[in-house]
Amino acid sequence: NPENILALTFTESATANMRRRLTSLIGTPAYYIGIHTFHGFCNKIIQDYPENFPKIIGSTNANQVDQIQIVRKIIDENNFKNLKPLGNKYHYVGEILKNIRQLKSEGINPVEFKDLTSKINPAEDKKNTERLRELSLAYKKYQDELSKKRLYDFEDMILETITSLKKNKDFLLDLQEKYQYILVDEHQDTNGAQNKALELLTNYDANPNLFVVGDEKQAVYRFQG
């Protein structure tokens, strides 16, 4: 059935083009096929299953000013040694935000990052270990502050979808039953978080109906990780 098919690509223009081409081939059923960007798909899931997303439902998207203000507040309230240089205590604000975005893009939440940093041996690189542990604390406080202010950022849509699918087996089974055939276009540009979402959606069957198209020579989103 068309509603059991999910097609994922990277731009809204690509989804529109895909829908248009499908309509010319198969007619009306094309409108029942799920064709989305990764973020658009996760946003649809959040809107369709709000009870599984208490952190995001009712929240608003944090803009760049919100994000900078939150990180500055965290720096003011914590005695960081590596992320708060004496000359300019806000020097690493941009770097902290960049690292948080990269962690989210790889599907790593604050608890998982703290667990990873706790396994690092300080004897090998004490300064870098301390810096990562401070970043781990900043990441947790950043997420806490977003929740407190009823905000979420762009990367949270995918990260929260992954978290909810991991926590709620029935929710995951519902989606696996709904989306039985999955196409991923431009797969060379997927990041870790997007791949984790795919793995969860397709892990019910050892041989899922998953069709992937990609060309590493065309990777244009390397900055995603």
Length of the chain: 225
Contact present, 206 and 47 (Cβ < 8 Å): no
Q: Is pLDDT at 93 greater than 70 in this prediction?
A: yes
Q: Is pLDDT at 204 greater than 90 in this prediction?
A: yes
Q: 98-105, long-range: CB within 8 Å, 24+ apart, which pairs?
A: 99/135, 99/139, 100/138, 100/139, 100/142, 101/153, 101/155, 102/225, 103/139, 104/153, 104/155, 104/156, 104/158, 104/159, 104/193, 105/155, 105/191, 105/192, 105/193, 105/224, 105/225
User: Residue 215: which pLDDT band, with cuts at 50, 70 and 90?
Assistant: confident
User: Residue 45: which pLDDT band, with cuts at 50, 70 and 90?
Assistant: very high
Rounded mean pLDDT, 75-79? 95
